[in-house]
Copies of this chain bind each other. A is one copy, B any other.
Amino acid sequence: MKQLSIKDIARLAGVVPSTVSFVINGKEKEMRISEEMAKKIRKIIKDTGYIPNKSAASLRTGKTHVIGLIVENISNRFFSMLAKAIEDIAYDVGYRLVYCSTENDDKKGSELIRMLHKQVDGFIITPSKGMKEEVLKLKTSGKPVVLLDRYFADVDIPYVLVDNKKSVKSGVELLYEKGYKRIAFIITALEQTQMQDRLASFKAAAKKHDILDPELILELPFSAQEGAYENDIRSFLKKHKDIDAIFFATNYLAIQGLKALQELNWKIPGKVGVLSFDDHEIFKLYTPSITAINQPITEIAKKGVEILRLQMSGKAEPAGQATLLKSEIINRKSL
Protein backbone atom coordinates (compact mmCIF):
# COMPACT_ATOMS: atom_id res chain seq x y z
CA MET A 1 0.00 0.00 0.00
CA LYS A 2 1.95 2.92 -1.32
CA GLN A 3 1.60 6.24 0.41
CA LEU A 4 -0.49 8.72 -1.46
CA SER A 5 1.00 12.05 -2.46
CA ILE A 6 -0.59 15.30 -3.36
CA LYS A 7 -0.11 14.38 -7.00
CA ASP A 8 -2.32 11.35 -6.63
CA ILE A 9 -5.07 13.40 -5.11
CA ALA A 10 -4.70 15.97 -7.86
CA ARG A 11 -4.95 13.28 -10.52
CA LEU A 12 -8.03 11.78 -8.89
CA ALA A 13 -9.66 15.19 -8.75
CA GLY A 14 -8.55 16.12 -12.23
CA VAL A 15 -6.68 19.22 -11.13
CA VAL A 16 -3.08 20.21 -10.55
CA PRO A 17 -1.32 19.70 -7.23
CA SER A 18 -1.36 23.42 -6.49
CA THR A 19 -5.11 23.41 -6.29
CA VAL A 20 -5.11 20.55 -3.83
CA SER A 21 -2.48 22.31 -1.79
CA PHE A 22 -4.59 25.43 -1.57
CA VAL A 23 -7.61 23.49 -0.41
CA ILE A 24 -5.60 21.61 2.21
CA ASN A 25 -4.26 24.83 3.59
CA GLY A 26 -7.59 26.59 3.66
CA LYS A 27 -6.66 29.04 0.95
CA GLU A 28 -9.44 28.10 -1.44
CA LYS A 29 -11.22 31.41 -0.84
CA GLU A 30 -8.10 33.43 -1.34
CA MET A 31 -7.25 31.52 -4.50
CA ARG A 32 -10.81 31.69 -5.74
CA ILE A 33 -11.28 27.98 -6.12
CA SER A 34 -14.95 27.09 -6.55
CA GLU A 35 -16.64 25.73 -3.47
CA GLU A 36 -17.75 22.81 -5.60
CA MET A 37 -14.19 21.88 -6.52
CA ALA A 38 -13.01 22.37 -2.95
CA LYS A 39 -15.71 20.02 -1.72
CA LYS A 40 -14.79 17.43 -4.30
CA ILE A 41 -11.16 17.59 -3.30
CA ARG A 42 -11.97 17.37 0.39
CA LYS A 43 -14.11 14.34 -0.27
CA ILE A 44 -11.34 12.59 -2.15
CA ILE A 45 -8.89 13.37 0.63
CA LYS A 46 -11.27 11.92 3.16
CA ASP A 47 -12.11 8.85 1.11
CA THR A 48 -8.53 7.98 0.34
CA GLY A 49 -7.30 8.76 3.83
CA TYR A 50 -4.59 10.93 2.38
CA ILE A 51 -2.32 12.64 4.92
CA PRO A 52 0.08 15.34 3.71
CA ASN A 53 3.73 14.66 4.41
CA LYS A 54 4.77 17.17 7.01
CA SER A 55 8.48 16.75 6.39
CA ALA A 56 7.96 17.99 2.87
CA ALA A 57 5.84 20.89 4.00
CA SER A 58 8.35 21.78 6.69
CA LEU A 59 11.19 21.65 4.24
CA ARG A 60 9.33 24.03 2.02
CA THR A 61 7.86 26.43 4.55
CA GLY A 62 10.39 26.21 7.32
CA LYS A 63 7.54 25.70 9.81
CA THR A 64 7.03 22.50 11.73
CA HIS A 65 4.11 23.26 14.04
CA VAL A 66 6.01 21.58 16.78
CA ILE A 67 7.04 23.11 20.08
CA GLY A 68 10.11 21.79 21.81
CA LEU A 69 9.67 21.39 25.53
CA ILE A 70 12.83 20.89 27.53
CA VAL A 71 12.35 20.19 31.21
CA GLU A 72 14.56 18.88 33.93
CA ASN A 73 12.93 15.52 34.37
CA ILE A 74 9.59 14.49 33.00
CA SER A 75 9.06 11.93 35.74
CA ASN A 76 9.00 14.69 38.33
CA ARG A 77 5.46 15.63 39.29
CA PHE A 78 5.83 19.37 38.71
CA PHE A 79 7.24 18.91 35.23
CA SER A 80 4.85 16.21 34.16
CA MET A 81 1.90 18.34 35.26
CA LEU A 82 3.43 21.27 33.44
CA ALA A 83 4.05 19.20 30.33
CA LYS A 84 0.48 17.96 30.35
CA ALA A 85 -0.88 21.48 30.70
CA ILE A 86 1.31 22.75 27.88
CA GLU A 87 0.37 19.83 25.70
CA ASP A 88 -3.34 20.49 26.18
CA ILE A 89 -3.03 24.16 25.39
CA ALA A 90 -0.69 23.71 22.46
CA TYR A 91 -2.85 20.95 20.99
CA ASP A 92 -5.84 23.24 20.91
CA VAL A 93 -4.00 25.75 18.76
CA GLY A 94 -2.55 23.20 16.39
CA TYR A 95 0.85 22.52 17.86
CA ARG A 96 2.38 19.31 19.02
CA LEU A 97 5.03 18.86 21.63
CA VAL A 98 8.41 17.20 21.47
CA TYR A 99 9.77 16.97 24.94
CA CYS A 100 13.03 15.99 26.47
CA SER A 101 14.50 15.80 29.92
CA THR A 102 17.85 17.36 30.64
CA GLU A 103 18.51 15.59 33.94
CA ASN A 104 20.01 18.89 35.05
CA ASP A 105 22.84 17.98 32.72
CA ASP A 106 23.89 21.16 30.92
CA LYS A 107 25.54 19.23 28.19
CA LYS A 108 22.49 17.16 27.44
CA GLY A 109 20.34 20.26 27.60
CA SER A 110 22.45 22.15 25.11
CA GLU A 111 22.68 19.15 22.86
CA LEU A 112 18.93 18.80 22.84
CA ILE A 113 18.49 22.42 21.91
CA ARG A 114 20.81 22.04 18.97
CA MET A 115 19.26 18.79 17.90
CA LEU A 116 15.74 20.14 17.93
CA HIS A 117 16.59 23.56 16.57
CA LYS A 118 15.36 23.02 13.04
CA GLN A 119 12.56 20.73 13.99
CA VAL A 120 10.58 22.99 16.19
CA ASP A 121 9.08 26.41 15.69
CA GLY A 122 9.85 27.45 19.22
CA PHE A 123 11.15 26.32 22.58
CA ILE A 124 9.74 26.20 26.06
CA ILE A 125 12.54 25.55 28.48
CA THR A 126 13.05 25.21 32.21
CA PRO A 127 16.73 25.99 31.96
CA SER A 128 19.60 24.97 34.15
CA LYS A 129 22.34 27.49 34.68
CA GLY A 130 24.74 26.03 32.14
CA MET A 131 22.25 26.26 29.32
CA LYS A 132 22.48 30.01 29.26
CA GLU A 133 24.81 30.26 26.32
CA GLU A 134 22.82 27.88 24.18
CA VAL A 135 19.59 29.65 25.04
CA LEU A 136 21.17 32.95 24.11
CA LYS A 137 22.16 31.54 20.73
CA LEU A 138 18.55 30.60 20.21
CA LYS A 139 17.56 34.16 20.90
CA THR A 140 20.27 35.49 18.58
CA SER A 141 19.21 33.24 15.75
CA GLY A 142 15.66 34.51 16.13
CA LYS A 143 14.19 31.26 17.41
CA PRO A 144 11.20 31.90 19.66
CA VAL A 145 11.89 30.83 23.20
CA VAL A 146 10.27 31.27 26.57
CA LEU A 147 11.59 30.13 29.91
CA LEU A 148 9.44 28.65 32.64
CA ASP A 149 10.07 28.17 36.33
CA ARG A 150 13.67 29.46 36.10
CA TYR A 151 15.22 32.40 34.36
CA PHE A 152 18.46 34.15 33.57
CA ALA A 153 18.68 37.33 35.56
CA ASP A 154 20.66 39.52 33.20
CA VAL A 155 19.35 38.43 29.85
CA ASP A 156 16.43 39.64 27.81
CA ILE A 157 14.46 36.44 27.33
CA PRO A 158 10.83 36.26 28.40
CA TYR A 159 10.04 34.02 31.32
CA VAL A 160 7.02 32.92 33.26
CA LEU A 161 7.03 31.72 36.80
CA VAL A 162 5.34 31.86 40.13
CA ASP A 163 6.18 34.90 42.18
CA ASN A 164 8.61 33.09 44.44
CA LYS A 165 9.42 36.07 46.57
CA LYS A 166 5.87 37.05 47.29
CA SER A 167 4.90 33.44 47.89
CA VAL A 168 7.63 32.82 50.42
CA LYS A 169 6.86 36.11 52.09
CA SER A 170 3.21 35.11 52.52
CA GLY A 171 4.37 31.80 53.92
CA VAL A 172 6.58 33.45 56.51
CA GLU A 173 3.79 35.79 57.45
CA LEU A 174 1.36 32.95 57.88
CA LEU A 175 3.81 31.20 60.17
CA TYR A 176 4.45 34.38 62.10
CA GLU A 177 0.77 35.10 62.57
CA LYS A 178 0.24 31.60 63.89
CA GLY A 179 2.80 32.36 66.55
CA TYR A 180 5.82 30.44 65.24
CA LYS A 181 9.09 32.17 66.09
CA ARG A 182 11.85 29.59 65.66
CA ILE A 183 11.33 28.86 62.01
CA ALA A 184 13.74 26.64 60.11
CA PHE A 185 14.09 27.10 56.35
CA ILE A 186 15.38 24.13 54.39
CA ILE A 187 16.46 24.59 50.82
CA THR A 188 18.58 23.06 48.08
CA ALA A 189 19.59 23.57 44.45
CA LEU A 190 20.73 27.11 45.12
CA GLU A 191 22.26 27.39 41.68
CA GLN A 192 18.71 27.78 40.41
CA THR A 193 17.34 31.30 40.32
CA GLN A 194 13.95 30.43 41.75
CA MET A 195 15.67 28.88 44.75
CA GLN A 196 17.82 31.94 45.25
CA ASP A 197 14.68 34.04 45.22
CA ARG A 198 13.00 31.84 47.77
CA LEU A 199 15.97 32.01 50.09
CA ALA A 200 16.39 35.75 49.76
CA SER A 201 12.73 36.30 50.39
CA PHE A 202 12.74 34.08 53.46
CA LYS A 203 15.60 36.02 54.92
CA ALA A 204 14.01 39.36 54.20
CA ALA A 205 10.62 38.40 55.60
CA ALA A 206 12.04 36.76 58.71
CA LYS A 207 14.25 39.74 59.35
CA LYS A 208 11.34 42.07 59.00
CA HIS A 209 9.58 40.28 61.82
CA ASP A 210 12.79 40.01 63.75
CA ILE A 211 12.77 36.23 63.82
CA LEU A 212 15.69 35.58 61.49
CA ASP A 213 18.28 33.18 62.88
CA PRO A 214 20.84 32.22 60.23
CA GLU A 215 21.52 29.04 62.21
CA LEU A 216 18.05 27.83 61.30
CA ILE A 217 18.65 27.99 57.58
CA LEU A 218 19.79 24.70 56.09
CA GLU A 219 21.26 24.87 52.60
CA LEU A 220 21.73 21.43 51.10
CA PRO A 221 23.61 20.56 47.91
CA PHE A 222 21.37 19.30 45.14
CA SER A 223 21.14 15.56 44.73
CA ALA A 224 19.11 13.42 42.38
CA GLN A 225 19.61 10.39 44.58
CA GLU A 226 16.62 8.99 46.34
CA GLY A 227 16.45 9.86 50.00
CA ALA A 228 19.56 12.00 49.71
CA TYR A 229 18.39 14.77 52.03
CA GLU A 230 16.78 12.75 54.79
CA ASN A 231 19.84 12.21 56.93
CA ASP A 232 21.04 15.77 56.61
CA ILE A 233 17.67 17.08 57.65
CA ARG A 234 17.50 14.75 60.61
CA SER A 235 20.86 15.72 62.00
CA PHE A 236 20.08 19.36 61.43
CA LEU A 237 16.85 19.04 63.39
CA LYS A 238 18.59 17.16 66.19
CA LYS A 239 20.99 20.03 66.57
CA HIS A 240 18.20 22.58 66.80
CA LYS A 241 15.63 21.11 69.11
CA ASP A 242 13.99 24.45 69.76
CA ILE A 243 12.68 24.78 66.21
CA ASP A 244 8.92 25.31 66.27
CA ALA A 245 8.22 25.31 62.54
CA ILE A 246 9.86 24.14 59.32
CA PHE A 247 9.40 25.83 55.98
CA PHE A 248 10.55 23.52 53.19
CA ALA A 249 11.54 25.26 49.96
CA THR A 250 10.31 22.39 47.76
CA ASN A 251 7.99 19.44 48.08
CA TYR A 252 10.66 16.80 47.69
CA LEU A 253 12.55 18.30 50.61
CA ALA A 254 9.33 18.32 52.61
CA ILE A 255 8.64 14.68 51.82
CA GLN A 256 12.05 13.62 53.03
CA GLY A 257 11.73 15.98 55.96
CA LEU A 258 8.51 14.27 56.99
CA LYS A 259 10.37 11.00 57.15
CA ALA A 260 13.05 12.54 59.30
CA LEU A 261 10.34 13.92 61.58
CA GLN A 262 8.76 10.48 61.83
CA GLU A 263 12.03 8.99 62.91
CA LEU A 264 12.66 11.70 65.46
CA ASN A 265 9.08 11.31 66.57
CA TRP A 266 8.47 15.05 66.43
CA LYS A 267 4.73 15.52 66.31
CA ILE A 268 3.12 17.77 63.74
CA PRO A 269 1.85 20.32 64.53
CA GLY A 270 2.30 19.68 68.28
CA LYS A 271 6.07 19.89 68.26
CA VAL A 272 6.63 21.63 64.91
CA GLY A 273 4.50 23.26 62.29
CA VAL A 274 5.25 22.27 58.68
CA LEU A 275 4.86 24.32 55.53
CA SER A 276 5.98 23.27 52.06
CA PHE A 277 6.58 25.19 48.88
CA ASP A 278 4.95 23.20 46.04
CA ASP A 279 2.00 21.00 46.75
CA HIS A 280 2.03 17.23 46.37
CA GLU A 281 -0.62 14.51 46.45
CA ILE A 282 1.01 13.09 49.53
CA PHE A 283 0.33 16.21 51.55
CA LYS A 284 -3.40 15.84 51.29
CA LEU A 285 -3.31 12.29 52.52
CA TYR A 286 -0.63 12.55 55.14
CA THR A 287 -1.60 12.53 58.81
CA PRO A 288 -1.74 15.34 59.57
CA SER A 289 -2.29 16.83 56.15
CA ILE A 290 0.44 19.28 55.19
CA THR A 291 -0.12 22.95 54.42
CA ALA A 292 1.50 23.93 51.14
CA ILE A 293 2.04 26.78 48.74
CA ASN A 294 0.63 25.70 45.41
CA GLN A 295 2.04 26.86 42.10
CA PRO A 296 -0.45 27.82 39.37
CA ILE A 297 0.79 25.23 36.91
CA THR A 298 -1.97 25.66 34.36
CA GLU A 299 -1.54 29.43 34.38
CA ILE A 300 2.19 29.10 33.90
CA ALA A 301 1.63 26.79 30.95
CA LYS A 302 -1.02 29.00 29.43
CA LYS A 303 0.99 32.17 29.72
CA GLY A 304 4.11 30.45 28.42
CA VAL A 305 2.41 29.15 25.29
CA GLU A 306 0.78 32.52 24.75
CA ILE A 307 4.08 34.38 24.80
CA LEU A 308 5.67 31.78 22.57
CA ARG A 309 2.87 32.04 20.04
CA LEU A 310 3.23 35.77 19.95
CA GLN A 311 6.89 35.33 19.09
CA MET A 312 6.23 32.58 16.56
CA SER A 313 3.69 34.71 14.75
CA GLY A 314 6.36 37.35 14.42
CA LYS A 315 4.41 39.86 16.43
CA ALA A 316 6.10 42.08 18.92
CA GLU A 317 6.56 40.65 22.35
CA PRO A 318 4.44 42.00 25.14
CA ALA A 319 6.09 44.74 27.07
CA GLY A 320 8.23 43.40 29.87
CA GLN A 321 9.93 40.07 29.73
CA ALA A 322 8.92 38.75 33.14
CA THR A 323 5.55 37.29 34.02
CA LEU A 324 5.09 36.53 37.68
CA LEU A 325 2.04 34.58 38.73
CA LYS A 326 0.37 34.32 42.08
CA SER A 327 0.56 31.22 44.20
CA GLU A 328 -2.03 30.04 46.65
CA ILE A 329 -1.65 28.75 50.18
CA ILE A 330 -3.55 25.55 50.75
CA ASN A 331 -4.34 25.46 54.44
CA ARG A 332 -4.28 22.01 55.96
CA LYS A 333 -3.56 20.63 59.40
CA SER A 334 0.20 20.90 59.78
CA LEU A 335 0.15 24.44 61.13
Contacts and interface: CB of A to CB of B under 8 A. Distances in A.
Interface in A54-93: 54-56, 58-59, 64, 66, 73-75, 77, 80-81, 83-85, 87-88, 91
Contacts of A100: 87, 91, 96-97
Given A53-B59, A55-B58, 19 more contacts: A51-B115, A51-B117, A51-B118, A55-B56, A55-B59, A55-B119, A56-B59, A74-B74, A74-B80, A75-B80, A80-B80, A87-B101, A96-B116, A258-B285, A259-B285, A281-B282, A282-B282, A282-B285, A286-B286
Contacts of A117: 51
A224 interface: no
Copies of this chain present in the complex amount to 2
4 closest A-B pairs by beta carbon, nearest first, are: A75-B84, A80-B80, A55-B58, A55-B59
Nearest to A61: B55
Nearest to A88: B101
A240 interface: no
Given A97-B100, A140-B1, A118 B255 contact: no
A51 B118 CA distance: 8
User: Which residue among A66, A74, A101 has the maximum number of chain B CB atoms within 10 Å of its CB?
Assistant: A74
Interface in A19-68: 51, 53-56, 58-59, 64, 66
Nearest to A142: B1
A176 interface: no
Nearest to A137: B49
A223 interface: no
A180 interface: no
Contacts of A140: 1
26 contacts: A1-B142, A3-B118, A55-B55, A55-B56, A55-B58, A55-B64, A56-B59, A59-B59, A73-B84, A74-B80, A74-B83, A74-B84, A75-B80, A77-B77, A80-B80, A87-B101, A91-B100, A96-B115, A96-B116, A97-B98, A97-B99, A98-B98, A255-B285, A259-B285, A282-B285, A287-B287
A235 interface: no
Nearest to A282: B282
A262 interface: yes
Interface in A244-274: 255, 258-259, 262
Contacts of A313: none
A146 to B, nearest CB: 20
A114 interface: yes
A281 B80 CA distance: 15
A118 to B, nearest CB: 5
A22 to B, nearest CB: 21
A41 B65 CA distance: 32
